[in-house]
C-alpha cells in the first residue's frame, strides 16, 4: 500500500455565518504523519473533515496526490477516518463493521474474510476470529478503538485521518495504541493526519507538527524544530513548557524563549555577574520523577526550571535566593 500526498491550498471553510478555517495551507508528503495540535475550537477537526470531503471548502483547494479533489464526495477519496466518537455501527457485529468498506467496494467474500482478519490483527485484536461475531457494544473502550481503526484500514486507504481517537482512553492503552499507529504507518506506508489536543501524543507520532490557532496554522514543521524554534510566544507556550522573558533595549517587543530544562540554578552569590542571569527567589520545589521542578519568582514574574534528578543534592530550599543562568544559545528570540 502506498499513501498519497496531501495538499491544502488557502482553504477557507465554515458552518453558516461562522468561518472556522481562515486560509489554511498545508502539505504532507506521502507516507508521513502530520499531527494537528491546537486548543478546542481552533478548527483542527474541520481541517480533517475538509481533507475527508465531509466539509466542502468555501474557497481554496484540496489535493490528494496532486489531483484536485476539492469537490469530490468522501466516498470517492479513498480515505480512512477514525471518528472521535468512533461511530461504530451498533447494529452490526465486529466482522460486519470492519467488512463495511470492503462490501461497498464489491470485494469477494473470501477476500473480505481475509482482509477483515488482517485488519483486526494489525489493529491489535488477537486472535481476530474470536471477535468476528461480537457485538461492538459489548467491547471495552480500547477494543472498540481498535475495531474503529481496523474498519478504517481494512480496504487499505491511501490516507488515514484520525480525530482525537484516543481521548477517551486511559494512559496505558493510549501509549500502546500510539506505538501501533506508528508501526502501522511504517508497515503500510499510509499517510496519516492525526488531530489531537495532547502535545505528548503529537510528539510521539508526528513527522510534521502543525500548530493551529483561531482557524489558521501558526507553525508547521518537525516537532524538534517547533520546540526549539517556535515562531512566537503562543507556540512556545502551547507546545511544551516555556519561560518567556522580555528582552531589554529593543524598540519592538521581543522575548527570549527559554525551556525550563535549559535553565541552571546556582547557589553561588558571585554567579550573578554573568550577562545571561538574574537573581530569583525559590517559591516551590516539586519532585516529578526524572526531574525536579523549581518554581521561582523574579522581577518580571514567575519562572520555571527543571533540574535532572541526579543533581538533586544541589537543590535550593523554598524561600532561598538563587542565581538563574542560561547559555546564550538556549535563548530563542521571538517577536510577540
Our CB check for other proteins shows the closer of 93 and 243 to be 93
Judged by CB under 8 A, which of 155, 181, 255, 326 binds other proteins? Answer: 155
Sign of CA dihedral 56, 62, 63, 67: positive
Tell me: does residue 23 bind other proteins (CB under 8 A): no
Is residue 81 at the binding interface for other proteins, with CB under 8 A as the rule? yes
* Residue 85 is a binding residue for other proteins (CB under 8 A): yes
Residue from the set 83, 234, 278, 332 that interacts with other proteins by CB under 8 A: 83
DSSP string covering 189-232: --EEEEEES-HHHHHHH-SEEEEEETTEEEEEE-HHHHHHS-SS
Task: Figure out which of the listed residues 44, 115, 151, 174 binds other proteins, where binding follows CB under 8 A.
Answer: 151
Nearer to other proteins, 137 or 140 (CB): 137
Total residues belonging to the chain = 336
Binding status of residue 71 toward other proteins by CB under 8 A:
no
Beta-bridge partner residues of 321: 281
Which residue from 23, 60, 74, 189 is in contact with other proteins, where contact means CB under 8 A? 74
Member of 11, 24, 36, 52 binding other proteins (CB under 8 A): 52
Give the whole-angstrom CA distance, residue 99 versus residue 187: 21
SS3 115: helix
111 is an interface residue for other proteins by CB under 8 A: no
Task: Report the distance separating Cα 82 and Cα 101, nearest Å.
Answer: 13
Q: Determine, following the binding rule CB under 8 A, whether residue 203 of this chain makes contact with other proteins.
A: no
- CA dist 200 and 89 (Å) reads 30
Give min distance, CB of 73 to other proteins, in A. Answer: 7
For other proteins, which is the closer residue by CB, 93 or 199? 93
| 3 state SS for 145-204 | HHHHHHHHHCCCCCEEEEECCCCCCCHHHHHHHHHHHHHHHHHHCCEEEEEECCHHHHHH
With cell 521571538, the residue in question is 334
* Shortest distance, position 49 Cβ to other proteins, whole Å: 8
Give the residues lining the site for other proteins (CB under 8 A).
Answer: 52-54, 73-75, 77-81, 83, 85, 87, 89-91, 100-101, 104-105, 135, 137, 151-152, 155, 161
Amino acid at each position: 500500500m502506498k499513501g498519497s500526498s496531501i495538499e491544502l491550498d488557502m482553504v477557507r471553510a465554515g458552518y453558516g455565518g461562522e468561518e472556522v478555517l481562515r486560509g489554511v495551507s498545508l502539505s504532507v508528503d506521502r507516507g508521513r504523519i502530520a499531527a494537528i495540535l491546537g486548543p478546542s475550537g481552533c478548527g483542527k477537526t474541520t481541517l480533517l473533515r475538509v481533507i475527508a470531503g465531509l466539509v466542502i471548502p468555501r474557497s481554496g483547494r484540496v489535493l490528494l496526490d496532486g489531483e484536485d479533489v476539492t469537490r469530490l464526495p468522501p466516498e470517492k477519496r479513498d480515505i480512512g477516518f477514525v471518528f472521535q466518537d468512533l461511530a461504530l455501527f451498533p447494529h452490526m457485529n465486529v466482522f460486519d463493521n470492519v467488512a463495511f468498506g470492503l462490501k461497498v467496494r464489491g470485494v469477494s467474500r473470501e477476500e473480505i474474510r481475509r482482509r477483515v482478519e488482517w485488519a483486526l490483527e494489525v489493529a491489535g485484536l488477537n486472535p481476530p476470529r474470536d471477535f468476528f461475531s461480537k457485538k461492538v457494544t459489548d467491547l471495552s473502550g480500547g477494543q472498540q478503538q481498535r475495531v474503529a481503526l481496523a474498519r478504517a484500514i481494512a480496504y487499505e486507504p491511501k490516507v488515514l485521518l484520525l480525530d482525537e481517537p484516543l481521548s477517551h482512553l486511559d494512559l496505558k492503552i493510549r501509549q500502546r495504541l500510539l506505538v501501533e499507529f506508528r508501526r502501522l504507518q511504517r508497515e503500510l506506508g499510509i499517510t496519516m493526519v492525526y488531530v489531537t489536543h495532547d502535545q505528548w501524543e503529537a510528539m510521539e507520532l508526528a513527522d510534521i507538527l502543525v500548530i493551529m490557532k483561531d482557524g489558521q496554522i501558526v507553525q508547521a514543521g518537525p516537532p524538534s524544530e517547533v520546540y526549539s524554534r517556535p515562531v512566537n510566544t503562543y507556540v512556545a507556550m502551547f507546545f511544551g513548557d516555556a519561560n518567556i522573558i522580555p528582552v531589554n533595549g529593543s524598540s519592538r517587543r521581543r522575548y527570549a524563549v527559554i525551556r525550563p530544562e535549559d535553565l541552571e540554578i546556582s547557589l553561588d552569590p558571585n554567579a550573578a555577574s554573568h550577562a545571561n542571569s538574574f537573581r530569583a527567589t525559590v517559591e516551590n520545589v516539586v519532585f516529578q520523577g526524572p526531574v525536579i521542578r523549581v518554581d521561582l519568582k523574579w522581577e518580571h514574574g514567575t519562572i520555571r526550571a527543571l533540574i535532572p534528578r541526579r543533581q538533586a543534592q544541589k537543590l535550593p530550599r523554598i524561600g532561598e535566593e538563587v542565581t538563574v543562568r542560561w547559555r546564550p544559545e538556549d535563548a530563542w528570540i521571538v517577536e510577540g
